[in-house]
Amino acid sequence: MGISERKEREKEQKKALILQSAEALIIEKGLDNLNMDEVAERAEVSKGSLYLYFKNKTDVVLGICNKATGMLSKEISEVLTRDISGIEMVYSIGATFLNFVRAHPEFFRSMRFFDNLKDTDQLSESDYIEMCQSNMNTSFTSMVRAIQVGMQDGSIQSSYDPKELAVLLWSTSHGLVNMAYLHQNTPHFQLLEKNKIEMNSLFEAYMKLIGCGIATDDDVVNNDLKSIFETEKK
Amino acid sequence: MGISERKEREKEQKKALILQSAEALIIEKGLDNLNMDEVAERAEVSKGSLYLYFKNKTDVVLGICNKATGMLSKEISEVLTRDISGIEMVYSIGATFLNFVRAHPEFFRSMRFFDNLKDTDQLSESDYIEMCQSNMNTSFTSMVRAIQVGMQDGSIQSSYDPKELAVLLWSTSHGLVNMAYLHQNTPHFQLLEKNKIEMNSLFEAYMKLIGCGIATDDDVVNNDLKSIFETEKK
DNA sequence: GTAGTTTTATGACCTTAATTCAAAAAATGA
DNA sequence: TCATTTTTTGAATTAAGGTCATAAAACTAC
CB-proximal positions of chain C, under 7 Å: 7-12, 17-22, 28-29
Facing residue for A209 by CB, picked from B166, B182, B210: B210
User: Do A45 and A106 contact (CB within 8 A), yes or no?
Assistant: no
Please tell me which residue, A11 or A133, carries the higher pLDDT value. Answer: A133
Q: Is B217 on the interface with A (CB under 8 A)?
A: no
3-class SS letters over chain B: CCHHHHHHHHHHHHHHHHHHHHHHHHHHHCHHHCCHHHHHHHHCCCHHHHHHHCCCHHHHHHHHHHHHHHHHHHHHHHHHCCCCCHHHHHHHHHHHHHHHHHHCHHHHHHHHHHHHCCCCCCCCCCHHHHHHHHHHHHHHHHHHHHHHHHHHHCCECCCCCHHHHHHHHHHHHHHHHHHHHHHHHCCCCCHHHHCCCCHHHHHHHHHHHHHHHHECHHHCCCCCHHHHHHHHCC
Q: Which chain B residue has its CA at the smallest distance from A157's CA?
A: B209
Please tell me which residue, A109 or B233, carries the higher pLDDT value. Answer: A109
pLDDT at B81 over 60: yes
Burial-class residue A132 by CB neighbours within 10 Å (0-12, 13-18, 19+): buried
DSSP state, residue A56: S
Q: What is the pLDDT of residue B121?
A: 64
Facing residue for A186 by CB, picked from B116, B167, B201: B116
Residue B145 with chain A: CB contacts under 8 Å: none
Q: What's the pLDDT band for A10 if we cut at 50, 70, 90? A: confident
Q: What is the pLDDT of residue A225?
A: 46
Residues A72-80, mean pLDDT to the nearest whole number: 98
Q: What is the pLDDT of residue B120?
A: 62
φ, ψ for residue B219, nearest 5 deg: -140, 25
CA A57 to chain centre: 21
How distant is C1' of C16 from CA of A27, in Å?
A: 22
Give A122→chain B minimum CA distance, Å: 11
pLDDT at B110 over 60: yes
Q: What is the pLDDT of residue A146?
A: 97
Q: Please state, in angstroms and rounded to a whole number, the distance separating the CA atoms of residues B172 and B170.
A: 6
pLDDT at B131 over 70: yes
Alpha carbon separation from A176 to A182, A197, A217, B30, B40 (Å, rounded): 10, 13, 25, 27, 39
Q: What is the pLDDT of residue A140?
A: 98
**Amino acid letter at A92?**
S
Q: What's the pLDDT band for A35 if we cut at 50, 70, 90? A: very high
Facing residue for A168 by CB, picked from B136, B163, B209: B209
Mean pLDDT of chain B: 90
Q: Please state, in angstroms and rounded to a whole number, the distance separating the CA atoms of residues B182 and A231.
A: 33
Give A160→chain B minimum CA distance, Å: 9
Residues A206-227, mean pLDDT to the nearest whole number: 65
Q: Is A164 on the interface with B (CB under 8 A)?
A: yes
Query: Cβ contacts of residue A212 below 8 Å, gap of 6+?
Result: A220, B212, B213
As a whole-number percent, the residues of chain B with pLDDT over 70 amount to 88
| Long-range pairs of B150-154 with CB within 8 A, sequence gap ≥ 24 | B150/B85, B150/B86, B150/B87, B150/B89, B150/B90, B150/B214, B151/B86, B152/B86, B153/B85, B153/B86, B154/B216, B154/B219
Q: Which of A206-210, B66-70, B71-75 has the lowest mean pLDDT?
A: A206-210
Residue A215 β-bridge partners: A156
Cβ of A202 within 8 Å of Cβ of B160? The answer is no
Q: Which of A97-101, B5-9, B26-30, B124-128 has the lowest mean pLDDT?
A: B5-9
How distant is C1' of D20 from CA of B48, in Å?
A: 9
Mean pLDDT of chain A: 90
As a whole-number percent, the residues of chain B with pLDDT over 90 amount to 78
Q: What is the pLDDT of residue A169?
A: 96
| Long-range pairs of B147-152 with CB within 8 A, sequence gap ≥ 24 | B147/B86, B147/B90, B148/B86, B149/B80, B149/B85, B149/B86, B149/B89, B150/B85, B150/B86, B150/B87, B150/B89, B150/B90, B150/B214, B151/B86, B152/B86
Q: Which one of B62, B69, B116, B170 makes the best mutation probe of the A interface by having the most chain A beta carbons within 10 Å?
A: B116
Q: What's the pLDDT band for B122 if we cut at 50, 70, 90? A: low
Please tell me which residue, A100 or B124, carries the higher pLDDT value. Answer: A100
